[in-house]
Structures are given as C-alpha cells and as structure tokens.
Amino acid sequence: FNNSLGGIYSNTTAVSDINYNNICDNLIGVSFLNKWGSNGTADGQFYYPYGITQDSQGNFYVADSHNHRIQKLDSQGNFLTKWGSDGTADGQFNYPYGIATDSQDNLYVTDAHNHRIQKLDSQGNFLTKWGSDGTADGQFNYPYGIATDSQDNLYVADSHNHRIQKFDSQGNFLTKWGSYGSEDGQFYRPYGVMIDSQDDLYVADTYNHRIQKFDSQGNFLTKWGSSGNGDGQFNSPYGIATDSQDNLYVVDTSNHRIQIFDSQGNFLTKWGSPGGGDGQFSGPTDLTVDSLGNIYVVDTYNHRIQRFGKIELYNNSSYAVDARYNFWGHTPTSQMQAGGNPKDINAIYDIWDNNTKGAVDYSNWLASPLSITAEPMSNITEPLPGATIKPEGYLVIGEPFVTIEGLASAAKGVSKVEVSTDGGAIWELATGTTTWSYEWIVPAFDTTYNIKSRATDMEDIIETPGPGINVTVVEKLPTTTGLLTE
C-alpha cells in the first residue's frame, strides 16, 4: 500500500472507517469505532472539553473545561459520576485543562485560571492543592498539560511562563527548565506533556509548532516539527500521548488531525480532517491510548470524545498478512489473504473474522474517501468563552488592549482572518493566518462583548461565522492565592 489516498474510508460491512498508510513493512490503519458526548451541561455532555486520562480500571476522566468540572466515564463512555463547579474553593475549578493519574489512581488537574494544581482521589474527594499566579518556583501562569512518571512525579506545562515544572506527588517543587524562545529547550506557550516507558518527557511546544524530547531531569534530547500541514509538520500541536511501544500520538490541533511518530520523531501515519463527521475533528486538544491500542480523542469544538481502533499488519509472505486489531474491544486472531504483494494498492484483500468464519471484502473502503470540508474554519483560543479578563497593558496613547488569539484552517489554504468584537457588525484584520492574533483596544470596562472570528481561503470563500464567544472586560481582576496543604 501507499499513503497517497489519505483520509478516512467508509466501510459498509464489518468496521466503520479505515485509513491505510504504508509504514515500512507494517501497515497501520485507524478505524473509527464510536463516539460519545454533545454540547451541554447534562451528565455525559461536554462544553469545550480539553483533557482526558484513564485509570488502572479502564475508567476515563474528562476535563469538561467550560463546565468547570470533571466527568468520570467507564471504558464504553457511560457516565459514572462528576464533580466540580466554577469557583476557587477546594474541589472547584476555573477552566480545568490538563488531567493525569498516578499509580494509586489519584487524579491531578491543572486548574488553569486559578493557576494551581488540585489532587483528588478517584471518587473526586479533594486531597491537596498547590500553586498561585506568579513566576516563582511552584507558581504558575496558566498551567495546561500535566503528566506523571513511574515514580509518581509530576510534570506541568507552565504555559505562559514558557517552562516545565517538576513536582513530587505531594506538590513539593523539584526542578524546572525552559524559557521563552525557539532554541533547544526553550518554549513558546507549551501545552501538552507526556512521559514514555523510559521516563523521557515529550513536550508539545505549541506556538513553536514542534515536539521536544527531554530526559526526566530536563536535559534536551531531540526535537522535530515545523509550521505547516505536511507529514511531520504541525499547526499548534496541543495534546500528546504514548502507546505500549512508545509511539507518540500528537494532536495537531489547527490542522484538525492526529499524527503518529516513533520515539525518535519519525513520521508513521496520520488521520483526520476539519468537520463534524465521524473521524473528523474541530480543534481537538488531547487524547489517550489504552492498553489495547484504542485511541480516545478529545474533539473539543465538537464537544465530544471519539474512539478509534488501530490496525497493524505484519507481512509474513507475499500472499498472507496477519492482522491484529481491536475493533471488538479486545484482540481477536484474524487473517488477511491476498492474491498479490500486500504493498500493492490494487490488490484486493479479504478480512477473515475467525469468530464468524466470514470473509469481508473491503475493496469499497479504498473507493470511498470522505471529502475534506471546503469551507474555511476558525476558532478563538484566547480569551476563553465566558471569561472575565483585564487589559494586558496600555498602548502609548493610553488605550487599554487585549490580545485575541486563535487558529484557522482551510482545504485551499487560509488567506486572512478577521475579528469582530461587536457581534459581527464590524470586522478587523487579524495578524497571521493559521495561527492568528488581534490587538483589541477595549472601549469600556465592566462590559460584556461578543467576539467572533472568520477565515477566508485562497479562493476568497469566506467562513460563515458561528455564535462567537462572550467575554467580560474589567479594569482589575480579584486576587486569588493557593497554598500547599498536607
């Protein structure tokens, strides 16, 4: 096979959707399995979810960010319990983003806008917290991603301080590294972090559009990636995860896709395109991989979780290929047989399901690629919907300003992005395209504004803007602090 086809392929027989790509002697396919969640506040619904993790029992925990809560689901996505509400008290959250578990199934949550970490048990009982707004050791400026190593040490992406901080499981500061910049070991608003089986750390260096790899003490090992939409390139990568083989899965957020690499950064495969269909994404931000190789993606702007299965084909001869995959939620023994070399895209294979002894002709998968959404898409990443914010500073002429940031994409390429701060009546040009920003001069304090964005592609197709976000601008925010508790 080759990977010239790309995309997700529709199948009307045994498995929902398949994406085939050539990976040396192996073939990895990614199949859409199911999904759960929709926009809302009810149990099992989400409002801009950002983080996901799994415990030793196979249960999932989702940072339902804009509902300011954590939801616990079983391995099939069924709702179990929830906790949290908007606030600064113990067990309350102000936009929880990152989430991780330790060896005891305790839960760690980056309470981003409270600039702290909260630790809870698997039932949501509060255990401890640490952090406050600042730049000192143990302080944070919007902590986002979080991960634990084999010793239950914690690694936190202290995003707007452009650094990584390391703590023990009780929140005691151990070390830190990083500063603002694009050199090795520097960061520009890092988001995701993940530990592999060797306790090496991978960091999604989001606005440098790359992945950096470090040892557990912060020593730089390697890096890969640049800005773009080619294989191995990124457009604001957010979440990252590893599997049992230490392959790395990267949420390529503004390209609305997932990319897979080996532990040295060699590109393996990819899937996804902009949209709301099965296997499509709108601003995905995080993912996790279970012990069977199933992949769970937080499809943030579609307010849902999508589940995918991974196929690995091992070429034993020119005419027979063993397939090990987990479409059924376990690992059945199956066999694919072909009348030609398995690398030949024109060969027709049959999947033999040994459970039913039935043959499935999947030639229709190769004939029915789903089309990429034509209309350009944009979204606002900062400020967050419903946030209360203060000006970042004042221009020379004394006018207060707030920086609005976001992402955009289009099948034909993005030519420009515009921003409206009055509900769509007046549009102003933003700086940048796929990653953009706009310095907004705030006309008045203690006022709620409706902010929208719209992208235009290279063929002058203009995005139909959505409802936008509402933010309130005040002159000064109330001060909150956090203390380490025993």
pLDDT higher for 333 or 311?
311
Under DSSP, the state recorded for 367 is H
* Fold topology of 31-310: Neuraminidase (2.120.10)
Q: Same CATH fold, 377-473 and 31-310?
A: no
d(CA 374, CA 365): 22
Backbone angles phi, psi at 230, to 5 degrees: -80, 175
d(CA 225, CA 448): 39
Domains of the chain, residue spans: 31-310, 377-473
Under DSSP, the state recorded for 295 is E
Q: CA dist 450 to 39, 304, 321, 466, Å?
A: 19, 24, 56, 11
d(CA 86, CA 67): 8
Under DSSP, the state recorded for 278 is T
| Beta pairing class for 304-315 and 26-36 | antiparallel
**Residue 464, burial from CB neighbour count under 10 angstroms (0-12, 13-18, 19+):** exposed
The helix/strand count (H/E) of the chain reads as 1, 41
Tens of pLDDT, residues 278-309: 999 999 999 999 988 889 999 999 999 999 88
Tens of pLDDT, residues 379-427: 898 888 888 888 877 655 567 889 999 888 877 788 999 999 999 999 9
For 311, other C-beta atoms within 10 Å of its C-beta total 23
Q: Which residues of 152-233 form beta strands (DSSP E)?
A: 154-158, 163-167, 173-177, 193-195, 201-205, 210-214, 220-224
- Percentage of the chain beyond pLDDT 70 is 78
For 476, other C-beta atoms within 10 Å of its C-beta total 8
* Fold topology of 377-473: Immunoglobulin-like (2.60.40)
pLDDT band at 29 (very low <50, low <70, confident <90, very high): low
The confidence score (pLDDT) of residue 73 equals 95
Judge whether 173 and 165 are in contact, CB under 8 Å. yes
pLDDT band at 327 (very low <50, low <70, confident <90, very high): very low
The confidence score (pLDDT) of residue 425 equals 93
d(CA 294, CA 273): 19
234 CB-side CA count, 13 A: 29
**Residue 403, burial from CB neighbour count under 10 angstroms (0-12, 13-18, 19+):** middle
Beta bridge partners of 167: 154, 173
d(CA 216, CA 87): 34
Q: CA dist 39 to 82, 160, 205, 274, 453, Å?
A: 16, 28, 29, 18, 20
Run of H or E including 64: strand 60-64
pLDDT band at 71 (very low <50, low <70, confident <90, very high): very high
Tens of pLDDT, residues 435-465: 899 989 898 899 999 999 999 998 889 998 9
| Beta pairing class for 17-18 and 9-10 | antiparallel
d(CA 391, CA 443): 11
d(CA 308, CA 151): 30
Q: Look up tokens 């650094």; give the residue.
A: 163
Of 193, 129, 196, the C-alpha closest to 159 is 193
Judge whether 382 and 404 are in contact, CB under 8 Å. yes
